[in-house]
Amino acid sequence: MNTKAFLANQLDQTAQIIEWSIDLFPEKRLIEIPPHSTVSMKSFFGEWSALRVLFHLIYYEETFALPSINHWIGGPIPSFPKSSQEEEREWDECERNLKLINRFLNNRKKQIETINNIDVRDWDKNKLVYYGHGKVSAHWMVAKTIQHTFSHGDMLLRKALYWDDF
């Protein structure tokens, strides 16, 4: 299997799923924090609005994923954010509207273009130190981005599909 092409395609496909998930929300609910008060419901729905989840995906991909895979095509070793407070500060300053989906989709396009420029001989080379994982490959970093998308995409779909049922 050509994992480079496969995972580039999965970045595109999962971006479309995130876009579709966001489209499922009534516009006014995009910024609402789930009102569910029991511990199990908070665990099920999370404590972020749909746009906050989308922003988290954007933040991860702008500060971790894209800088990391750029390293395989000659970019600098990325310097990752030091704390979650940095993400919170950016969220506080962020325009909270549907323009965020375009930002997310543009980031995905950049990642796919970057992946397509990684030499196949370098794809599986462990080159970058990533938190708690030692040196990882571009293959691993892209797989991690997809895993991250699945995790938060699941949360978006829970909010979109089941919010009114509880």
**pLDDT confidence of residue 82:** 75
The predicted-structure confidence for 123-152, as pLDDT tens digits, reads as follows 999 988 877 788 999 999 999 999 999 999
**pLDDT confidence of residue 27:** 92
Identify residue 78 by its one-letter amino acid code. P
- Domains of the chain, by residue range, sit at 3-165
Q: Among residues 24, 21, 43, which one has the least CA distance to residue 34?
A: 43
Q: How far apart are CA 15 and CA 18, in angstroms?
A: 5
pLDDT at 52 over 90: yes
For the chain, the average pLDDT equals 93
The predicted-structure confidence for 78-123, as pLDDT tens digits, reads as follows 888 878 899 999 999 998 888 999 999 999 999 999 999 999 999 9
**Cα dist from 89 to 55, 79, 85, 101, whole Å:** 12, 18, 6, 19
Q: Give the residue-averaged pLDDT of 34-53.
A: 91
**pLDDT confidence of residue 80:** 83
Least confident of 37-41, 44-48, 108-112: 37-41
Q: What is the pTM of this model?
A: 0.94
**pLDDT confidence of residue 71:** 92
Q: Options 1.20.120.450, 3.90.1330.10, 3.40.50.300, 1.10.1060.10; which CATH number does 3-165 get?
A: 1.20.120.450
Residues in the chain: 166
For every residue of 115-158, DSSP letters joined together read HHTS-TTTTT---EEETTTEEE-HHHHHHHHHHHHHHHHHHHHH
Q: Is the dihedral of CA 90, 64, 14, 40 positive or negative?
A: negative
**pLDDT confidence of residue 89:** 94
Helices marked H in the chain: 3-23, 39-45, 50-60, 66-70, 84-93, 99-116, 138-162
CA angle 114, 73, 152 (to 5 degrees): 45
